[in-house]
């Protein structure tokens, strides 16, 4: 398979991030696989990536820690610039706003928004210099429609959608395309404890989506077929929000 360059995927040791890393490896990309501390899961994903003939470099750092991001990525970026950046790192701490503590608010926003800022800023200058690149941010239906019990998560993902659109305008003339994918209810660790039947009435398709289906949208946005698409939010939600 022809080598196409490097894809940096954050939060890629499991779930959507792992599926995205494997999908891009199938398309010929070597993967820089970011994760925070689940070394065992990261190793499994790397083996999966390498089974498709690609190289996988595990890069462990907390995306919300600017020093950790810089210390890890700076030496790598001196040698190579990823063609693709997928900002997937994020998590939820669900509770009603009236009961939400400062840490539940700030930690969710920090990983999603500070993480987007720290990692993207590091990679973006090289993309602009080379006049090519694809950035895909993993947002959420919660950031489009809002979700009770997820004021923090909805705020973080809505902010990411706004950042996607603004950055797309800033870098379009440099041939760097910036889009977002907004998954709905997807079968991951984040949703495994949800009362599934309670949410089925909200999903016209009548089922949760799969990580492979989300990865398919990312794969499209990173392909040559999406060369005139930027600033867009692609929903993968089974019709939950239109």
Has 153 been annotated as catalytic?
Answer: yes
Question: Could you read off the pLDDT of 138-174 as tens digits, one per residue?
Answer: 999 999 999 999 999 999 999 999 999 999 999 999 9
CB burial of residue 187 (10 Å; 0-12, 13-18, 19+): middle
Domains in the chain with CATH codes: 5-236 (3.40.50.720)
Rounded to two decimals, what is the model's pTM? 0.96
Instruction: Evaluate if residue 195 carries a pLDDT over 70.
Output: no
List 29, 35, 153, 241, catalytic entry: 153
Helix and strand tally (H, E) in the chain? 9, 7
Question: Could you read off the pLDDT of 165-184 as tens digits, one per residue?
Answer: 999 999 999 999 999 999 99
């Amino acid at each position: 398979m022809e080598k196409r360059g490097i894809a940096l995927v954050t939060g890629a040791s499991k779930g959507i991030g792992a599926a995205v890393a494997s999908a891009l490896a199938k398309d010929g990309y070597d993967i820089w696989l970011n994760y925070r501390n689940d070394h065992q899961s990261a190793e499994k994903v790397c083996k999966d990536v390498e089974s498709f003939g690609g190289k996988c470099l595990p890069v462990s750092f907390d995306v919300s820690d600017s020093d950790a991001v810089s210390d890890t990525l700076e030496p790598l970026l001196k040698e190579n610039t990823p063609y693709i950046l997928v900002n997937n790192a994020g998590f939820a701490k669900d509770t009603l706003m009236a009961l939400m503590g400062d840490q539940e608010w700030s930690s969710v926003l920090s990983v999603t928004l500070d993480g987007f800022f720290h990692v993207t800023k590091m990679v973006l200058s090289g993309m602009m210099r080379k006049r090519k690149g694809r950035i895909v941010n993993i947002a959420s239906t919660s950031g489009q429609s809002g979700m009770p019990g997820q004021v923090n998560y909805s705020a973080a993902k809505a902010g990411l959608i706004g950042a996607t659109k603004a950055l797309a305008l800033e870098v379009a003339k440099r041939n760097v395309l910036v889009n977002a994918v907004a998954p709905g209810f997807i079968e991951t660790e984040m949703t495994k404890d949800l009362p599934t039947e309670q949410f089925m009435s909200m999903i016209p398709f009548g089922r949760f989506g799969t990580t492979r289906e989300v990865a398919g949208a990312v794969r499209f946005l990173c392909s040559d077929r999406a060369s005139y698409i930027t600033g867009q939010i692609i929903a993968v939600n089974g019709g939950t929000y239109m």
